[in-house]
Amino acid sequence: MELCSFLTLDSFITDPLTHEFMRKALLMSSLVAAVCGFLSSYLTLKGWALMGDAVSHSVMPGVVVAYALGLPFSLGAFIFGVGSVALIGFIKQKSRVKEDTVIGLVFTGFFALGIVLVSKIKSNIDLHSILFGSPLGISLSDVKQTIFICLLVVILLSIFRKDLMLYCFDPRHAKTVGINVFFLHYLLLTCLSLAAVVGLQSVGIILVVAMLITPGATAYLLTDKFDNMTVISVLSAIISSLIGIYVSFWFDLETGGSIVLAQTFIFLFAFLFAPRYGLFKLKKLFAGYK
Amino acid sequence: METINYQNFRIEAENICVDYNGKVALYDANLRLKPSQICGLVGMNGAGKTTFFNALTGFVNISKGKIRINGESVRSAQKDQTIAYVPQNEGIDSQFPISVWDVVMMGRYGSMNIFRCPRESDVQAVKDAIERVDLTDHLSTPIGNLSGGQRKRTFLARAIAQRASILLLDEPFSGVDIRTEKLISELFIQFKNEGKTILLSTHDMIHVREFCDLVLLINKTVVAYGETSEVFTPENITTTFGGISPDFLFGPES
């Protein structure tokens, strides 16, 4: 990791590839980023950012319990992720407390439960890797599970791509023409829980919500077409995770944080310079010169 | 024709009640509409107009009463694409990254396969519908770049493309330009001639007199229902709007 060794861009890129853990990290993080980016378009348009935050934090006790019982951690995470949303819905309906308050208190409650469980269940669970991610130390069984979940989410989102878009845009119309809105709601939630699970390996539970909203928000500033938005979102997510891992390798930084920071920088760039919706409205500026 | 035949009615709502977590939004409401009838739904904000629409489309469940659409359940009406809902402009996220074409195509989703791949006939239906609302020049325009009137026409085109026999329109004339208003009025006459049933909510009393054969005055429940000429009286309107005089609503000259 000597700084003087990347005098050329070539070695900056190729040197890390000589390490197996780096190849694996780059590949897996890109895959996870792509899946989260895909989902991100839907979540930002649906206005589910807070929901994403809630679900991603709530999976914590599920992961811990699953580890303790020797079950696939995705199963535990899924149950607690969807369970938290069900609980939020229930409390909201049965009390006068406002929704954002309910969301906040439910997910912090779940998260706290997870932390307490980790301290009680003396096992080989590494709290640090759950909280902050460990893309460089991902195990073979985790790789298999991650690939499986990613494929599942991509297939589901691809099949119901248009229905989900309609659901986000105008659920009332969807219902009126006989489309199962209930199913779509839970499909999106399921994908959210699954994406949170795979995302937490890359950047950890605390930051996974960034993977689920930042790429979508970036893409939203750059296009007026839904399909383009999805493509831009996926690409920006992949590029950020590559940049994040490389930078963390060369400068010895926390990997998860680097990935999210890269996403944030790309968002800021779009925020300032997006042709139509950027702060500087470059399109208008250039049109003025003509 | 002596026996009461549900088939005579497009919409048949009998004593319907809707509540949201115990708060009553609508109770004991009745409505019967036949083909080629245009009915105005008039009431204050919060009087249950949107709730009435939601009940008819099945977007909310009714807690009591019965709704029949063409003599069948709401669910089978959904499957048959019988009802089209044209939302209020405020009810739509106008910044959603979607084009006029894609919105109108959504009118066809219910009759497509699971992947929602448009067939030749779907493409044709969408083209025709967009032509009828005079938006052919804006096929690929994002809805965020449309005027309020153009956006309204986009959703009207979606309802046309759906080929529904019942149209529910939430405030079709609010926030639209003169040209759109004229076009919508013309379309209403065409729809009537095609035998469609129309239920529209409106704040504008002049529109009720102009288009509506029937009027349904509601304030959480039905205040009055019947032929516009008989029911749309200052007394009924005053009751509907909680004692505010029609002078205030119509302006002094009426």
Q: Please report the sign of the dihedral spanned by the C-alpha atoms of residue A183, residue A189, residue A192, residue A197.
A: negative
Q: Does B99 reach chain A within 8 Å, measured CB to CB?
A: yes
Coil, helix or strand at residue B61? coil
Looking at the partner chain, which of A165, A169, A224 has a beta carbon nearest the beta carbon of B142? Answer: A224
Q: What is the mean pLDDT of residues A107-123?
A: 89
Task: Work out whether strand B11-20 and strand B64-69 pair parallel, antiparallel, or are unpaired.
Answer: antiparallel
Q: Is the pLDDT of residue B3 over 60?
A: no
- The region that residue B87 occupies, defined by phi over 0 for left and psi between -120 and 50 for alpha, beta otherwise, is beta
Q: Is the pLDDT of residue B252 over 50?
A: no
Per-residue confidence at A136, pLDDT binned at 50, 70, 90?
Answer: confident
For position B6, what pLDDT does the model report?
47
Q: Which of A166, A172, A183 to probe by mutation at the B interface, max B CB count within 10 Å?
A: A172
For position A14, what pLDDT does the model report?
86
**Chain B residues with CB-CB distance to A166 below 8 A:** 106, 109
H or E stretch at B160? helix B148-162
Per-residue confidence at A200, pLDDT binned at 50, 70, 90?
Answer: confident
For position A134, what pLDDT does the model report?
83
CA distance B113 to B111: 7
**For residue range A39-72, what is the model confidence (pLDDT) as tens digits?**
999 999 999 999 999 999 999 999 889 888 888 8
For position B61, what pLDDT does the model report?
93
**Chain B residues with CB-CB distance to A177 below 8 A:** 78, 81, 107, 109-110, 162
For position B11, what pLDDT does the model report?
95
Average pLDDT of chain B, as a whole number: 90
**From B117, which residue of chain A is nearest by alpha-carbon distance?**
A162
Per-residue confidence at A16, pLDDT binned at 50, 70, 90?
Answer: confident
CA distance A228 to A234: 10
Q: Is the pLDDT of residue B8 over 70?
A: yes
Q: What's the burial of B118, exposed, middle or buried (CB within 10 Å: 0-12/13-18/19+)? A: middle
**Chain B residues with CB-CB distance to A173 below 8 A:** 85, 87, 106, 158
Q: Does B61 reach chain A within 8 Å, measured CB to CB?
A: no
Looking at the partner chain, which of A165, A177, A223 has a beta carbon nearest the beta carbon of B81? Answer: A177
Looking at the partner chain, which of B78, B91, B92 has a beta carbon nearest the beta carbon of A178? Answer: B78
Q: What is the mean pLDDT of residues B109-122?
A: 93
Q: Is the pLDDT of residue B63 over 80?
A: yes
**Chain A residues with CB-CB distance to B109 below 8 A:** 162-163, 166, 174, 177, 179
Per-residue confidence at B45, pLDDT binned at 50, 70, 90?
Answer: confident
Per-residue confidence at A289, pLDDT binned at 50, 70, 90?
Answer: low
Q: Does B117 reach chain A within 8 Å, measured CB to CB?
A: no
**Chain B residues with CB-CB distance to A93 below 8 A:** 21
User: Would you give the DSSP letter of residue B92?
Assistant: S
Contact yes or no for B96 and A45 at CB 8 A = yes
Q: Is the pLDDT of residue B250 over 60?
A: no
User: What distance in Å separates residue B246's CA from the closest CA in chain A?
Assistant: 33
Q: Does B78 reach chain A within 8 Å, measured CB to CB?
A: yes
- The region that residue B147 occupies, defined by phi over 0 for left and psi between -120 and 50 for alpha, beta otherwise, is beta
For position B248, what pLDDT does the model report?
55
For position B82, what pLDDT does the model report?
96
**From A160, which residue of chain B is nearest by alpha-carbon distance?**
B115
**From B108, which residue of chain A is nearest by alpha-carbon distance?**
A177
Per-residue confidence at B42, pLDDT binned at 50, 70, 90?
Answer: very high
Per-residue confidence at B245, pLDDT binned at 50, 70, 90?
Answer: low
Coil, helix or strand at residue B159? helix
Percentage of residues in chain A with pLDDT exceeding 90? Answer: 66
- DSSP string of A187-220? HHHHHHHHHHHHHHHHH-TTTHHHHHHHHHHHHH
